Amino acid sequence: MRTRLSQVMSMGHAIVLALLAALAFSVPADAAGTIIPPDQLITNLFNEVTNRVQKDEAKVVADKTYLINIGNEILVPYVSFQTMAKQILGKNWRKISAEQQNRYTEAFRERVSTSIVNQYDPAKKYDLKVTGSRMNEAGDRAAVNSEVFERQTGKKYLISYKLFLEKKTNRWQVYDVAVEGVSVLQSFKTASAEDFKRNGIEYMIAQLQNGPATPPAAGAGNGK
């Protein structure tokens, strides 16, 4: 599935790290019960992930798959990949079995992890600057805009984050990221709608797991 998402994932390892951190991280309220503002949260997330990768850089350089260990340790406990998978498939989520839902969710999680490994370049270092934020009237949705700079070249990437407030835990959680105006979830969703109609969920799972797959025979789409 060569979509705009593939273009996003090829923009640099720090961009991918920031993207995944935003999708996967959430930070609890402090001891006094104060909720961390969304713009501060984004800065904290970027710095924490960047610092951890730099701290373990020797291990990562020796084996890039160590990035997956970092993700499993720090990120996975704070993300519902099933929620993201449901958003990507939309109404088609209800058309597949629970077993297929689980396999699609796991394939999506592994695809994101693999993208981190493939795009990691220890020679590139980045800095992030939050440029603005806004919140809805209810105070439970927010958007944060930022700029990420490559230190060596000064090249700038525009990255925006969408967040919602998880009321049970009082945590802001990022549910989508747009790099240079390209939404990760929307990119997946746009391609997934057509893939589901033409080829079915098994083909989509195979694409996430293995890259481009051979389309099934005519009439084998949807949940098959």
CA nearest neighbour of 127 among 157, 105, 103, 150: 150
Amino acid 46: pLDDT: 81
- Distance in Å from the first CA to the final CA of the chain: 18
Contact 172, 23 (CB under 8 A): no
Amino acid 89: pLDDT: 94
Q: Which domains does the chain have, with CATH numbers?
A: 4-210 (3.10.450.710)
Whether residue 14 is predicted with pLDDT greater than 60 in this model: the reply is no
Amino acid 123: pLDDT: 78
Give the C-alpha distances (Å, rounded to integers) separating 91 from 80, 87, 148, 197: 18, 9, 35, 12
Q: What is the rounded distance in angstroms from the CA atom of residue 159 to the CA atom of residue 179?
A: 5
DSSP letter assigned to residue 211: S
Q: Average of pLDDT values for 104-124? A: 80
Q: Average of pLDDT values for 126-152? A: 93
Q: What are phi and psi of 182, to 5 degrees?
A: -100, 110
Q: What is the rounded distance in angstroms from the CA atom of residue 29 to the CA atom of residue 36?
A: 6
Amino acid 71: pLDDT: 67
Amino acid 31: pLDDT: 46
Q: What is the rounded distance in angstroms from the CA atom of residue 224 to the CA atom of residue 221?
A: 6
Amino acid 95: pLDDT: 95
3-state secondary structure of 107: helix
Q: Give buried/exposed letters for 176-205 (b at 16+ CB in 10 A, else e).
A: bbbbeeebbbebbeebbeebbeebbbbbbb
Place of tokens 């730099």: 54
Q: Average of pLDDT values for 103-108? A: 92
Whether residue 9 is predicted with pLDDT greater than 80 in this model: the reply is no
CA nearest neighbour of 18 among 59, 52, 60: 52
Element (H, E) at 46: helix 38-55
Q: Quote the distance between the C-alpha of residue 167 and its chain's center.
A: 22
Which amino acid makes up residue 170?
Answer: N
Highest mean pLDDT among 72-76, 98-102, 182-186, 219-223: 98-102
Partners of 130 in the β-ladder? 146
Q: Average of pLDDT values for 56-78? A: 75
Q: What is the rounded distance in angstroms from the CA atom of residue 143 to the CA atom of residue 122?
A: 30
Amino acid 80: pLDDT: 66
DSSP letter assigned to residue 219: T
Confidence band for 124, pLDDT divided at 50, 70 and 90: confident
